Amino acid sequence: AQSVTQPDIHITVSEGASLELRCNYSYGATPYLFWYVQSPGQGLQLLLKYFSGDTLVQGIKGFEAEFKRSQSSFNLRKPSVHWSDAAEYFCAVHGNKLVFGAGTILRVKS
């Protein structure tokens, strides 16, 4: 069975600082990987996805993520965080079905 672990429940960063949100997955083969963002009171919005090819994928809002097979990881990064990035972020893996992690809440301090 596939699973997703997001080790950090909360992360606080200063505006303008870099960001990395961690995601580890468990699946027997190469999965399809996603990051979603949920702003307060909103549904989830797809940030980026990895299916194959280049292991560094670019998404919307200046986010990128890197697939590392050896570490079973798909960490989300952004070089400079804006206050509007404060939200909850979900990593998801699609093996035989789509499974979400428990989420990481990002707080941005000015």
DSSP state of 14: E
Q: Minimum distance from CB of 43 to other proteins (Å)?
A: 4
Residue 28 contacts other proteins per CB under 8 A: no
Residue in 44, 57, 65, 76 binding other proteins, rule: CB under 8 A = 44
Residues whose CB falls within 8 Å of the CB of residue 102, separated by 6 or more in sequence, listed in order: 6, 9
Residue 64 contacts other proteins per CB under 8 A: no
Do residues 56 and 49 make contact, with C-beta atoms less than 8 angstroms apart?
Answer: no
Q: Minimum distance from CB of 55 to other proteins (Å)?
A: 18
Chain residues that interact with other proteins, rule: CB under 8 A: 4, 9, 32, 34, 36, 41-46, 49, 51, 90, 94, 97-98, 100-103
